[in-house]
């Protein structure tokens, strides 16, 4: 059992929101906002039921993110046209009848109320993403504390191992081994619009293709760190930039100072009538009692997962095909790898 559970709150909200599209679970509310709020609250209740004695934290994304300013400054300092952090998400389709601003307001309302109902702390500060909250909290927490993260974000996995594990809420997989981020630093992060490194010709000039994640992973698996450093000696600035953006916690930060700053922005839960809040989301006493049974929890959660897993299979196939065709047709401004679409294309990337 975990001592500390950290939930990627917005990530989980997206999962529950998308589950309403699938039809795998019959709606119990007449309107889309009510149904989405119900599913988010119910999924959070299941996490608490699974970890009744753990300290529970909701990690929050709070724009504008520091990575946006960092990337703009990086390009400007080199006289290059900036590539906006997550700017690729603006044109993505919106499959819900409720507008984006209204959806954000719904998420915030559920966040505050469920924080009270489940006695969960909210942690977030302007400029930080849930990734940053996760990274700083894991790095600054004693190794004797068992930590469980709940997220589909593959970046979180780099901190797995020892006392740290991650539960993927879409697949149900428990990840306990750390993810090697060296390949991602080479390939970039398509989901966040972080450019990777272009392949070079034998004469050292930039070629017309990029290192996609598959190629980068093979490269990392077959070369030593020294060989990789030599291979990318002309791309050191880009590699260093990507390490800064992808590594958790950010290697440029003073960990002690970051931990103190994060502690100062913890938002405690209000003391209130948790049962009344849960009732308002359709999680009545009979439902709560039912969900205390792990078998019953798993039955409901598996229905949430079914549609998302099928979407991800389609997304992976499309992504692989497009990545092989264009493997980034280099205009380095538009060239992006497809790595992070594999675990969370319809979750992390579908919402700007």
CATH number of 173's domain: 3.40.50.1010
Is residue 235 included in any domain, yes or no?
no
Is residue 160 included in any domain, yes or no?
yes
Is residue 124 included in any domain, yes or no?
yes
What is the mean predicted confidence (pLDDT) over 225-245?
Answer: 94
pLDDT confidence tier of residue 207, bands split at 50, 70 and 90: confident
**pLDDT value at residue 307:** 62
Is residue 152 included in any domain, yes or no?
yes
Position 43 pLDDT exceeds 70: yes
The Cα-based distances of 220 to 178, 215, 224, 225 in angstroms read: 15, 9, 7, 8
Instruction: Return the bridge partners of 65, or none.
Output: none
Is residue 139 included in any domain, yes or no?
yes
Is residue 237 included in any domain, yes or no?
no
Residue ranges of alpha helices (H) inside the chain are: 9-22, 32-50, 66-77, 100-118, 130-140, 182-187, 213-222, 225-231, 236-246, 255-264, 274-280, 285-291, 294-326, 341-344
Whole domain around residue 148: which residue ranges?
4-179+249-321
pLDDT (tens digit per residue) in 115-133: 999 999 999 999 999 999 9
The percent of residues in the chain predicted with pLDDT above 90, rounded, is 72
Q: Domain total for the chain?
A: 1
Q: How many CA atoms lie within 13 A of 287 on its CB side?
A: 17
Is residue 189 included in any domain, yes or no?
no
Is residue 202 included in any domain, yes or no?
no
**pLDDT value at residue 193:** 92
């Amino acid at each position: 059992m975990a001592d500390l559970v950290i939930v990627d709150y917005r990530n989980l909200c997206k999962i529950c929101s998308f589950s309403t599209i699938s039809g795998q679970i019959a709606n119990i509310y007449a309107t889309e906002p009510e149904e989405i709020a119900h599913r988010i609250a119910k999924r959070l209740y299941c996490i608490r039921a699974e970890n009744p004695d753990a300290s529970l934290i909701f990690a929050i994304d709070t724009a504008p993110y520091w990575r946006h300013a960092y990337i703009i400054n990086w390009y400007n300092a080199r006289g290059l046209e900036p590539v906006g952090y997550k700017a690729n998400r603006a044109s993505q389709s919106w499959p819900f009848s409720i507008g984006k601003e209204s959806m954000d307001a719904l998420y915030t309302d559920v966040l505050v109320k469920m924080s009270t109902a489940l006695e969960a702390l909210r942690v977030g500060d302007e400029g930080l993403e849930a990734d940053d909250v996760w990274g700083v909290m894991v790095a600054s927490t004693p190794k004797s504390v068992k930590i469980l993260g709940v997220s589909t974000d593959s970046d979180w996995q780099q901190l797995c191992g020892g006392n740290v594990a991650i539960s993927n809420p879409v697949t149900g997989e428990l990840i306990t081994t750390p993810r090697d981020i060296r390949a991602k630093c080479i390939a970039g992060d398509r989901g966040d619009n972080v450019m990777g490194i272009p392949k070079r010709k034998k004469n050292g000039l930039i070629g017309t293709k990029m290192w996609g994640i598959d190629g980068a992973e093979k490269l990392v698996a077959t070369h030593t760190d020294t060989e990789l450093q030599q291979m990318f000696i002309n791309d050191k600035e880009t590699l260093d930039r990507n390490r800064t953006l992808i590594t958790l916690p950010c290697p440029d930060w003073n960990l002690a100072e970051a931990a103190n700053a994060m502690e100062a922005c913890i938002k405690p839960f209000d003391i209130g009538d948790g049962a009344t809040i849960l009732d308002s989301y359709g999680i009545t006493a009979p439902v709560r009692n039912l969900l205390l049974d792990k078998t019953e929890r798993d039955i409901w959660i598996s229905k949430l997962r079914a549609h998302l897993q099928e979407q991800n299979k389609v997304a992976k196939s499309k992504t692989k095909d497009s990545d092989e065709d264009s493997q980034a047709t280099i205009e380095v401004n538009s060239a992006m790898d497809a790595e992070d679409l594999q675990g969370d294309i319809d979750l992390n990337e579908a919402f700007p």
